[in-house]
Each structure stands twice: as C-alpha cells, then as structure tokens.
Structure 1
Amino acid sequence: MALSELPGPAELDAEQQQAVSEVIFRMADDEFVLAERYTEWQVRAPTLESDLAIANIAQDEYGHARLWYDLLEDFGAEEPELIWERPPSDFRHSTLVELPIIEGDWADSILRGYLFDTYEKLHLESIHGSAYPRLRDRVEKVQMEERYHLEHGQNWLERLCDDEPGREKVQQAFDRLFPYALTLFEPSEHEADIVELGVRTEPLADLRARWLEITLPFLSSLGLSVPEAEDELPELPAETGRHGDHTADWEPLYEEFTHTYRTLGLSTPTKLLKDPDDVK
C-alpha cells in the first residue's frame, strides 16, 4: 500500500514532527561531526592529492549538514541553537564519527569514511522515497557527492591493503572502529513511527543487514579478518551516540568547534553555507 505524503512542516502533527526531526537530526549531526574530524587531516594527508581530496570531502559533509540543519529550522530553531548553543548531550550522531582519528593513521580515516559512506548510501536510498517532500527533495544532490566519497574510500582501501604493513594498519583500524560503526543502525523508540509514516522507507535493521552484506565481503576480499556470521559480530559499545550518550572524546571536540563562537561572544555566527531556499 502506498504511503500518504506528509504535509509541510507547519501542518505536521506532533508525532509526525518527532519522526521527521529525529531522522534529520541524526543525518545532520553525523555529517557535521564527521566533517570536524576530517578537518584534522588538512595539510597532514600522505600526498597533496589526498590532502585536497579530504578537504573537499570535509567541505561536502559540512554542506550536507547545512542542508539538513536548514530543514530543522522549519520547526522554529535557528542555526546557533542547532549547533553552537546546543548542549553536547543533545547531539544524536553515531559515536563512530566522534572518535579521535589516531594521529598519523591514514587507515583510520579511510576505513571510517568507507564504513560511514556505505551506510549513508543505503540510508539516502531509503530517504529518496521519503513521504516528507522537504527531505526527499534534497537527497539527490547529496547522493551525487557521496558516490565520490565512497569511491575514494574503496580505492584507498585497495591501495592500503596491497602490502602487509598497510593491511595490518587497516586491520587494526577495523578492530577498533567496527563496533562503533554498528551504532549507526541503533534504533530509537520512534523507529516504528519513522517507517510507518514513510519518513524512511526501510527499517534500520534492514539497512544494517544490507550494509553487512556489502562491507564485510569487500573487506574480506582485501585480506582482512572480519566476522563471518551474525553471532561473530562484536557487541555495541556502551555509548552509541544515538540517545545522547557519547564517549569521553566528544566534549573536547564540542568545546573546540564552539570555542570561537563563545570566545567572541557572537550572537549570529556565519552560516555553514548559504540557505539553499534563499538561492535564486
């Protein structure tokens, strides 16, 4: 049965707004925090080409976050409230994206990006048919740019795993990051409403199954040791991020990216990017 299209933001009832907001907050926070971690690599990447690539990817992620935060402004919030003045415990990003990147460990950043970008590809596909038009209409631009991000990660993983030292580095990164990557699929108490209302067309459990079917065989093909069955998967870490529970690494990052705003006493920070609805 075809799902009914949801109305515009002003006409959503409380249940509908909760479902829409939850999906968008997760998307926006994931992108923004991942971009913050990527910026740590600028002028430190292994080659000039990779330095430019990671800078471009970070810029793309900031842009995607801006698209999603803009949709949350439909419900009365403004950008300072959504980012710079928002309590750190209110952020709903996966703890995968907040973990510090081990200094000098290019494999960490590349594998993290691959695991996230594969998730995002599947998630965006499930949003492409969303019953909420304001969300659905912004997906295609993001999908175009995310295809490049995923190709970048796959190509680098193949390159890194081409010799034993590189493959060992990727294996170490996998062992460290994979449990946190599973938090991307942690559902909330509103998961049933999100699917039933058509905000997302697939349950997170189904996306997780598809993600495992893609990522594990690919990584295994590179010579990595990965789980081969559901009962071999690691347990979720204590902090998933999806419910506001974060690792000890989150607040220092939060303090860092809000520092200038707080120090200068800004009341209206420069926007991440121009509001797409204002583009003529």
Structure 2
Amino acid sequence: MKNIFLAALLCTGVTAFSQQPNVINSVKTLSGVQQPFLFSVSTLTEPGWNINYSGSYGKNTTNPFGFNGVDQQFAVSGYLGSRFTLYAKAGIGFNESGGIRSLQQVEVIRDLIGGGGKAQGFRFGTGLGVRREWTNENVVFSRLTAALGNKLWNLAGNLLIEKAFDKDRDEVDLITAVGFHHKLGKQFFAGFEAAGEDLEGFWDKDEAEGGAKLFIGPSVNMTTKDSHFLFSLSGGPIIYATSSTRNIDSAPRDLNLSNNGYTVRFRVGFK
C-alpha cells in the first residue's frame, strides 16, 4: 500500500507541473486564499495547482495534531473538473528516540453546495481518503467540510470519520477541526484554530486510545502581493481532556497519556 500512495502522489505532482492553470485575476480577500488553515481542510476556491511544504515539532502529540518529534511534509492540491478537489501528501518524521517514520495520504473532496470557483459565501463538501500513518497503520476516512467567508473573514470546519485497520484502535474515530481568520492588512490574516480527536472518549469510558484530546492555538497567514506564495503558522497546547479505563499499554501511538502536549506547525505554499 505504501507504494500505491507514493505512486499516486508522484502522478499528481507530474500533473500539477504539466498542466497550465487558468489565468485569473487574484482578489485580495481572505476567502480567496488557498487553504489558510493548517488543521482544517476545505475545498479549493480557484483553479490551478498548489504545492506546499510544511514542518512541525510536537511533544506528546498524535495525528492529526502533528508528529511526536520533528516532521517535514510535501503536498499538492488542485481541482479535478469544476467541483472536485484532490489532496495528496507525503511526509517523513524523526522522533526523539532517533527513529524515522513516514506518512502518505490521498483524498478527494466534492463541493455539494457553493464552490466551483466561488471564493465567497457558504461552501459544503464531502470526500473520501486513505492514509498510511506514522505508525504504519492503514486508515480510510470520510470528511465533511464547511466554510463561510467574505472579504474580511473566513470560518472553516471539518468532521472526519476514520476507520483504522488495527486491533488496538477504535472501531471508529471522530476528529473535528475549526479555524477562523480575520483580515488585518492587505496580505495578513490572523485568528485561531482548534481541533479534537477521539471525541467519543467524552461518552465512552472504554475508548481504545486513551480518551479525548483537544488542541487550540493562534493562527496567522500571509500572502505575497501576487498571491503566488502563502505562509502559515499555528501552534498551541494539546489537552488530554478525558482518560480511558482500557489498558492502552500496547496502543500503537507514541504518546504519554499522563501528560498534556503541544505542537507547532508552519507551511509555505506556492500556486
């Protein structure tokens, strides 16, 4: 499966370079910025392809908040037709014990409401994806996306329903994310991002992966005048909000459930 992920990512990258994107007049609105958030994904609002490089450092963290150590990721995204958005990424991580891990993910999201090149207003979409995680487990997931924006601000959120093919993981994982940005200058935006993982831990005391985990932190975003480059930064604490009664000594994730954690992530994008 690892080879399939890498092949898909390579093919997508070749397509991104070989196709000439439509020429558009870039509008300096927050809702026109391609993927301003680091923890919340939504469908694209402009034609063309985007290439991203990102890195993070995390302590006592798990996916989707980041990597428990230092990681680097490369990603491509773009429109397939008028309403489909393709995301593909691959990453390499270096944990504190000296080990090296890898990550691959591919997903397609379709706009059901809005989208289709419209940067402002309400957008709602749904998609499917597959991922090979840092700890070598294979995961399939479905994503619901929603975004609302205008010339001054943007609000976006996600709901992920994941199924991991590992006996020590939950039957189903629920992951949410939300982000808000407000325009503070011609190319500068700021706000916050928040995310929650294993939220079933709030009502299921036997949750397999240690209980619910929450993240919240500030988020900033800046674009260049020609809108070709995008710079994003976000980070904050990870709070282990509940604890599970299940014995998680053999859990596949690298974390210490007795302590909270934190994560910091940046991204440089090119369109």
Instruction: Name the TM-score, length of structure 1 as normaliser.
Output: 0.27
Structure showing greater relative contact order (alpha-carbon pairs closer than 8 Å, 6 or more residues apart): 1
Q: Which one has the bigger strand percentage?
A: 2
Higher share in helix: 1
TM-score, with length taken from structure 2: 0.27
